[in-house]
Amino acid sequence: MRGFFATSVQRCAELCLAASVGTVAEATAWLDDDANTVDVLLVDLGLPDGSGLGVIRHAVRLHPRCEPLVISMFGDDDNVLASIEAGALGYIHKDSRPEDIARTILDMRAGASPISPMIARRVLSKYRSDQVGRATGPPPPSRLPDKSLPGTDPDALPKRSLLSPREQDVLALIARGFTYAEIARLQSVTVHTVQTHIKNLYAKLSVNSRSEAVFEASRMGLLPRHG
């Protein structure tokens, strides 16, 4: 499988394969070497000596400009969401065609991160409920109900939600099966804008998960308080 991905990358003229390793240990060692630079990291989650999530976090920490992509068999929301929170900016299906693999990598570099309706739904419900749980401010002015998911109350959204109203609208449409292009048409924006929303979202989720970890740690008394 590793060979297939390596070949797919090598075949593309616009891409250059920096390295191809099979374990967490090898990947960490390669990333630790200052001589190496990396723009895109393709990571499988199920590695022989551990989880690919660790590699993603390591890469993001050492190489902030690195854009990790996770290789997923099914693109199932549990794994993908965990990867996004670890710092991944997209995912590629294992059964993708070689040319699709290269295309996904290039699209991501160009600012387009894929997101499935299931993940959009999960992100919406997770961060919406998270924020509702912690909200202190008054509820935001109500928006058009057809822009949100069925069975959710837009009034319950807090003012300073992790997700901007626009991002939530985009996610809600993705969750209903619309493509970026269709969303752009529906919202009278460019496709690029929609892509930017999603990419920003990825970054937010990653940062949020890190700050959430800090919040949890300080709440549990694991970190010293400032001041």
For another protein, the binding residues (CB under 8 A) are 74-77, 95, 100, 116-118, 121, 145-146, 149-151, 174-179, 182
In the structure encoding, which two tokens stand for residue 43, read together?
Answer: 């990571």
CB of 165 to another protein, least distance (A): 17
Handedness of CA 197, 87, 79, 4 (dihedral sign): positive
CB closer to another protein, 4 vs 74: 74
* Least spacing, CB of residue 82 vs another protein, in Å: 14
Q: Which of 64, 42, 72, 37 is nearest to 55 (CA)?
A: 42
* CB-facing half-sphere around the CA of 212: CA atoms within 13 A: 13
Least spacing, CB of residue 141 vs another protein, in Å: 20
Q: Which is nearer to another protein, 21 or 156 (CB)?
A: 156
26 versus 182: smaller Cβ distance to another protein = 182
Nearer to another protein, 62 or 82 (CB): 82
Least CB distance from residue 117 to another protein, whole Å? 3
Residue 146 has a CB neighbour count (10 Å cut-off) of 8
What is the rounded distance in angstroms from the CA atom of residue 181 to the CA atom of residue 170? 11
Q: Which DSSP helix (H) or strand (E) runs through 32?
A: helix 24-32
Instruction: Report which residue type is found at 119.
Output: I
Nearest-approach distance from CB 58 to another protein, in angstroms: 29
CB 77 within 8 A of CB 122: yes
Would you give the distance in Å from CA 94 to the centre of its chain? Answer: 17
Tell me whether residue 159 or residue 185 sits nearer to another protein (CB atom): 185
